[in-house]
Every structure is written in structure tokens, then in C-alpha cells.
């Protein structure tokens, strides 16, 4: 666990500015829109529905782009912001339903005194890596995440505390009236950094858990990119120097 966290921090130190930029490329405009619309989103059912749908779309795409970039860095390649989004968008028909199903389950679970949502968050932590690294369809990705997480709940819980605690803190600040522009965008930056660190850890963890015994010769070795758009991205960026 300590080694994995150390690897994630090392990667963040080297590439964190770009990973945060990838996440904020969609997160920042959404935050500006939410702040500009203010209470009108909550007061109108139509506006709330449209904003929720847009948030789901942009959240899925941004998370997928970050995962693409992290996996490329962990393999020794290099991905720019356009590289990450172009590749994420190519696999988006699989990403969006997988993200929507997992986020919906977690949200419903959270309504029941938070703990069920926390448990589902742990069990579904590997859904997007399974889609992006192995090309699995949504329900098979959920099954894959459920199986891989079964014997790793304590370690996953330790990692999940990062975004979970940050989310609760952000909600508390909002209810406390900290809704001026500086506070809102400060919270956005902090939560984005924490989310990127969490996704980095999850990709590294997934690559390790998905690795079969070397002697088996089984396809799909952990850390190997099986899905063609990601394979193409790594091939295209292998020759790029690192900043």
C-alpha cells in the first residue's frame, strides 16, 4: 500500500500539472456554469435535469481521459491533453453507461445512511479501468470490478477516504455558505487534485490485480493495454520525450 501510494505521488510530482489540467478542461467550465446559474438549477426541474445530465457526461469523459493518461505514463509513454481526450472519446460509448451505472448505484446507496454508498464505491472502484484497459462492456466491467475488489476492501477503503472525505468537506462548506467565487474554485482545485491522485492509485492497483501468473501465458496481463485505441495511443507516444 505504501509503495503504491508512493508511486502515485511520484507520478503526480512529474505529471500532476497535466493530469489536473486534463480533469479541469471540463471540470472548470462546469463549475463556472454552476456558479453562474446559482440557485436557478435547484429551482427548475428541467434545468436541474439538464445540468445533471451534462455533469454526468463531462465527468465520465474527464475521468476516462485522466485514466488514459495515467495508464500511458505508467507504461513509460507520454500523453498530451488532446491525446487523452481523443482516445477517451473513441471509447466513450462504453465509458458513459459504465460510469452512469456505477455512479447511480453509489448515489442511491448513499441515500441509505451513506454506508451502502461507501461499500458500493469500494466494489465499483475498478469499473472504468476495466472498460478502458480491457475493453469490457459496462456490465462485465462491473462484474470485473466486483471480483477484483472482493479481497481488497480494507486497502480500497483507505484510498477511498481521500475523495470521500474531500466530497463531504466540500458539501459542508457549501451548506456553511462558502459559495463565493474564490471558495468555489478553490474547492474545485483541491477536489480535482485529490480525484486525480485517487484515479492514479486505482489505475496502478488495477494493473497489479489484473496481472495473471507469468507462467499461465494468459492474455490480458495486468498493465498491458488490450483495447486498441489505448494501444494506438501508446504506440504513437512512445517516441515522445517527457517534460
Tens of pLDDT, residues 120-145 = 999 999 999 999 999 999 999 999 99
Tell me: pLDDT of 113 over 90: no
How far from chain centre, in Å, is Cα 11?
16
Query: In the numeric block, which cell numbers belong to residue 50?
Result: 439538464
pLDDT band at residue 220 under the 50/70/90 scheme: very low
The mean pLDDT value for 2-7 works out to: 90
What pLDDT does 178 receive? Answer: 58
Helices (H) and strands (E) in the chain, counts: 11, 0
Tell me: pLDDT of 241 over 70: no
The SS3 assignment for 72 reads helix
Top pLDDT among 220 and 155 is at 155
Tell me: pLDDT of 48 over 60: yes
| Stated length of the chain | 243
Query: In the numeric block, which cell numbers belong to residue 113?
Result: 445512511
Tell me: pLDDT of 73 over 70: yes
The DSSP element (H or E) to which 159 belongs, if any, is: helix 153-175
What pLDDT does 40 receive? Answer: 67
Tell me: pLDDT of 223 over 60: no
Tell me: pLDDT of 218 over 70: no
Q: What is the mean pLDDT of the chain?
A: 83
Amino acid at each position: 500500500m505504501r509503495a503504491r501510494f508512493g508511486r502515485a505521488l511520484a507520478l503526480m510530482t512529474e505529471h500532476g500539472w497535466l493530469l489536473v489540467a486534463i480533469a479541469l478542461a471540463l471540470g472548470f467550465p462546469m463549475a463556472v456554469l454552476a456558479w453562474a446559474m446559482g440557485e436557478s438549477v435547484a429551482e427548475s426541474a428541467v434545468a436541474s435535469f439538464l445540468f445533471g445530465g451534462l455533469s454526468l457526461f463531462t465527468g465520465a469523459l474527464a475521468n476516462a481521459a485522466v485514466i488514459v493518461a495515467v495508464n500511458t505514463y505508467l507504461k513509460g509513454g507520454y500523453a498530451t491533453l488532446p491525446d487523452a481526450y481523443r482516445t477517451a472519446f473513441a471509447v466513450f460509448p462504453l465509458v458513459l453507461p459504465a460510469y452512469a451505472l456505477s455512479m447511480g448505484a453509489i448515489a442511491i446507496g448513499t441515500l441509505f445512511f451513506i454506508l451502502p454508498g461507501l461499500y458500493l464505491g469500494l466494489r465499483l472502484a475498478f469499473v472504468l479501468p476495466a472498460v478502458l484497459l480491457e475493453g469490457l462492456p459496462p456490465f462485465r466491467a462491473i462484474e470485473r470490478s466486483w471480483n477484483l475488489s472482493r479481497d481488497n476492501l480494507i486497502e480500497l477503503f483507505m484510498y477511498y477516504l481521500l475523495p470521500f472525505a474531500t466530497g463531504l468537506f466540500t458539501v459542508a462548506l457549501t451548506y456553511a455558505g462558502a459559495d463565493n467565487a474564490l471558495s468555489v474554485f478553490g474547492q474545485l482545485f483541491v477536489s480535482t487534485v485529490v480525484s486525480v491522485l485517487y484515479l492514479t492509485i486505482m489505475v496502478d492497483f488495477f494493473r497489479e490485480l489484473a496481472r495473471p501468473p507469468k507462467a499461465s501465458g494468459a492474455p490480458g496481463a495486468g498493465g498491458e493495454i488490450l483495447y486498441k485505441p489505448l494501444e494506438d495511443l501508446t504506440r504513437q507516444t512512445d517516441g515522445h520525450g517527457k517534460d
